Structure 1
Amino acid sequence: MDVCWRLQERGFTLGFSAAAMVWHHRRNSVRTYWKQQMGYGRAEAMLERKWPKKYNGSGHARWAGRIYGNGLTHALRWRRARVYHGVWGVAPYQSLYEPAPGLLGSLPQMPEWYLMIAIVLVLSAVSLVWSPLKLLLPLLVGVVLPPLAQASLSAARASFNDAPPRRAARVKRRLLTAALHLLQPLARLRGRLQYGLTPWRRGSPGLAAPWPRTLAIWSEHWQDPDQRLQRIEADLKAAGAAVRLGGDYDRWDLEVSGGPFGSARLLMGVEDHGGGTQFLRFRRWPRGSRGGVALTALFAALAGGAAAAGAWAAGTILAVVTLALALCVVLECSAAAALIARTVRQLRTGGA
C-alpha cells in the first residue's frame, strides 16, 4: 500500500492487469502464522503514522476496493454475494454493482471487536458480585457469536487442493482453518496496540482547554470567507485530522474528530471593514459523541445502582470504568480543540 500511495502522490495512475501475479509466502505453523499477522498489525500502525490522511478516526484505511476469492473471511450478510460480470463478461467497475458489506457485517472482522468482547466479558464477570449485571450475559453471547459464525462460514467455504481422503482429517483441517480465522484479528490487534494504533490514540501534538474559546484576528488582506474555511480545512487535513463540514442547517462550519468519543467544532464570523480589511472571529467548542456520552452515563448509572444496593466491589469497578470513559471523552475533545487552535493561530502568524 505504501508503494501504491507514493506512486499516486507523484501523479501516477494505478490500473488493473489480469496477468499480474503476486507470490505470497504461506506460513506452515500456527506460531509463524501468529507472528506474520502481528507483523501486519505493526505495518498498519507504521502506515498510519506515515499516511494519517489515509486512515479514519478508528485507525482503519479508507479503501473502497473489492477482493474476491474462496480463502477470505466472509462477512455476515443476508443475501449471497454476487459479482456483476455483464454480458460476455465485459462489464467494468464491478464495485459499482456489488454493494459493500454492511456495518454490522464488517464490525466482527475488525481487530477492535475483540476489545469489545473483553469489556463485555469483564462486566459479565462482575455479575458474580452484583447479580443485576447478569442481564449482560445475552450481550456477551451476541458479541461472541458473530466471529465464531464468520470463522465457521469461512472454513466451510475454503477450498483445499490436496484434501485428505479421510473424513476425520478433513474435519480437522476445517477446524484449524476456523481457528486461524479467529486468531488473525487477535494477532493484528496485538501488533496494532504495540505500535500505538488504537481507537483512543491522539493525532494532535497536544491538548487544549476542553471548553468554548473565542479568538479574534484582524486581517489587512480581504479574502472570501469560503476560501478561508477551505484553507483551514486543508491545513487540518494536512495535519492528519479527520474533518467534517457543516451542513446547510448546522450552526458550525467545521468539525474535527479527536476519536470515537469526542470532537471539536469551529464557527467563523467575518466583519468587512473599509480598505479591504476584515475582522475575523473564531469560536470553537468541544462535543462529546453520543456514543461516548451514552456509555459514560450508562456506567455511571450502573455504578450508582451497585453502590445503592451495597455492592461496593461492583460499584468500585463500574466507577473506575465510568471515570476512564469520561477521561477518554475529555482527552479526545481536548486533542481536537488543540488542532483547531493551532490551525487558527497559523492564520494569525502567517498573515491572514
Structure 2
Amino acid sequence: MRDYIKQQMGYGKAEALLYFKHPYRFNVLGQSRWFGRIYGDLSSFLLSRQPRIYSGAFGRGLFQTLYQPPASLLSYLPHTLQWNIAALFLLGCAFLFGGYSWLGIFPFFLSVAKCGICAFRARIDPRFHGLRGRLLVALLIYLGPLVRGLERTRSRIRRRREIKTVEFNGNGTAQKPRISWHQRAFFLSYWTETGLQKESLLYGVVDFLLPRKYLIALDQGWSGWDLEVCHGIWSRAQIKVGTENHGGPKTLLRVQCALRMSRFSRVILCSYPVLAALAIVLGLPKVAVIGALAGYFHAVGILYQKIHLGHIVYYALEIVAKRLKLSPVEETKRFAA
C-alpha cells in the first residue's frame, strides 16, 4: 500500500511538470487528457460511451474493428479530488444544520459504489479472487486519483512561483482600448507598412502567453475567433483579427478581444439559484441563504477574473505589437467583423 501511494504521488508530480510544459493537454479540473483505461472496466462504466464494432454496410465490412471511444469526464468525476471536497462540504452542512443527511452521504456513496463495481468487474489473479482482494482493489481505485490529484495540486502551487508574470506598469502600451460593454469586448488597431499579416500578431501573442502557462486554443476553421485564451476554468478571452489591405505593403490590423464566461461557469452559476430553491422547498432557509451568498460572491469573483484576463490580453497585444513595430491607430469606428 505504501509503495502504491508513493507511486501515485510520483504520478501527480509528473503531471504537474507536464502541465507547466504543455498546459493545453489538461482539462478544466486540472487532469491530463488521457485516453487509456484503468483496471479494465473503469472507463466503460457509468456515463461513458460503449465500444462499437464497425461492420460495414449490411454487415459486409472486410475488417470488422472494435472502436473504443474515449471515456466521458463525467465517468471519472466521482474519483476526482474536487468531487470529494464538495462531498465533504455537503456532509459537513448536513451535520451542521441537521436533517437531510442523505444529501451529504450520497456523493460519498456514489464514489464508493463506483469503486466497488469497478473492483468487482476487474480481472484479478485467481490467487486474490476473494473478497479481501476485491476490497483492496476498490480501496486502491478510490485512493489513487485522490492522492494523485492532491500531489498534482500541491506541485502546481509550488511551481507557480516560477511562472513569468505580465507586468501592469503601463510600459509598452501605446493606445487606449475602445471598450464596448454591450459586446463585452475591447478593440485595438495597428498600422504597418511592412506587409505584416495578422498571423504575425497572433503567433506573437501565443509565444508571449505560453511561457506564462495560459491555455491557448487556435481556430480550426469552425470558430468565430482566431485565438481563445484562458487562465482558469471560469473565463476566457476570444481574439479575432481583421486585416485591411491599403495597397502594397500597407496594412491595417483591427483586433477584437471578447471576454466570455466558460460553459462550466454558466452551469455552476445557474446551479446556485436551483440549489437555493431546492433548499427552500426542503425547509432549509439557512442553506438557501448560504447558497445565495455563495452564488453572489462567486459571480463577483468570476467578473474579477474576466476583467483581469482582459487586462493581461490587452498588455500582451500591446507588447507584441511594439516588438513587431506596429503603429497604434486610434479608432472611433465600430469594428468590422
Q: What TM-score results when the alignment is normalised by the length of structure 1?
A: 0.65
Within-5 A mapping of 1:336-347: 338-339=312-313, 341-347=315-321
Label 1:57 to 1:320 Cα distance change in 2 as closer, same or farther (>3 A).
closer
Whether 1:215 aligns to 2:185 is no
Which residue of structure 2 aligns with residue 245 of structure 1?
Answer: 219
1:51-70 equivalences under 5 Å are 51-64=22-35, 66-67=36-37, 70=40
Residues 205 and 332 of structure 1, relative CA distance in 2, 3 Å threshold: farther
Counterpart in 2 of 1:188?
Answer: 148
Matched residue type, 1:242: I
How far off is 1:176 after superposition?
A: 2.1
Q: Aligned pair in 2 of structure 1 residues 140, 262: CA closer, same or farther (>3 Å)?
A: farther
AA in 2 matched with 1:282: V
| Residue 138 of structure 2 is aligned to residue 174 of structure 1 | no
- How big is each residue's C-alpha offset from its partner over 1:57-84, in whole Å with a ceiling of 9 and x where there is no partner? 43233344x45864x6454247996697
Residues 1:119 and 1:204: Cα distance change in structure 2 (over 3 Å) = farther
- CA–CA distance in structure 2, aligned partners of residues 68 and 319 of structure 1: 39
String of CA shifts for 1:171-223, please: whole Å, max 9, x gaps: 1222222112111122112212212369xx9x883488997433222212224
What does residue 334 of structure 1 align with? 308
Cα distance in 2 for residues equivalent to 1:191 and 1:152: 24
Which residue number corresponds to residue 119 of structure 2?
155
Where do 5+ consecutive residues of structure 1 fail to align? Answer: 1-28
Which amino acid in 2 is paired with 1:42?
K
Contact 2:201 2:321 in 1 (8 A): no
Structure 2 SS opposite 1:99: coil
Q: Distance in 1 between matches of 2:70 and 2:216?
A: 22
Matching residue of 1:106: 76
Cα distance in 2 for residues equivalent to 1:155 and 1:68: 11
Cα deviation, 1:214-239, whole Å, max 9, x if unaligned, reads 322221222444x3465357536744
**Structure 1 274/304 Cα, relative in aligned 2: closer, same or farther at 3 Å?**
same
Over the residues paired in the alignment, what is the CA RMSD in angstroms? 4.6
Amino acid of the residue matched to residue 186 of structure 1? Answer: L
Cα distance in 2, alignment partners of residues 116 and 183 from structure 1:
16
Native 8 Å contact 2:48 2:71 kept in 1: no
CA contact (8 A) 1:300 1:322 kept: no
How has the CA–CA distance of structure 1 residues 219 and 35 changed in structure 2, closer, same or farther, with 3 Å as cutoff?
same
Alignment partner of 1:284 is 2:257: yes
Q: Distance in 1 between matches of 2:234 and 2:245?
A: 37
How far does the alpha carbon of each residue in 1:300-352 deviate from its partner, in whole angstroms, 9 at most, with x for none? 78779999x99668735752564145314532562365146414531332234
Q: Specify which of 103, 108, 126 is matched with residue 144 of structure 1.
A: 108
- Per chain length, whose mean CA-contact separation is higher, i.e. which structure has more relative contact order (CA < 8 Å, sep 6+)? 1
Q: Give the counterpart letter for 1:348 in structure 2.
A: K
Cα distance in 1 for partners of 2:16, 2:217 equals: 21
Which residue of structure 2 lines up, in the alignment, with residue 24 of structure 1? Answer: none
Listed as ranges, the gaps of 5+ residues in structure 2 are 56-61, 169-176, 327-337
**Aligned pair in 2 of structure 1 residues 196, 120: CA closer, same or farther (>3 Å)?**
farther
In 2, Cα distance between equivalents of 1:301 and 1:82: 35
**Percent pairwise identity:** 24
TM-score, reference length from structure 2? 0.67
Q: Find out whether 1:235 has 2:207 as its counterpart.
A: yes
Give the whole-Å Cα distance in 1 for the aligned partners of 2:232 and 2:152: 16
Question: 1:139 and 1:312, CA in 2 relative to 1: closer, same or farther beyond 3 A?
Answer: closer
Shift of 1:262: 0.8
Q: Which residue of 2 aligns with 1:76?
A: 45
- Tell me which residue corresponds to 2:7: 36
8 Å CA contact 1:57, 1:242 repeated in 2:
no
2:33 counterpart SS class: coil
Task: State whether structure 2 residue 19 is matched by structure 1 residue 45.
Answer: no
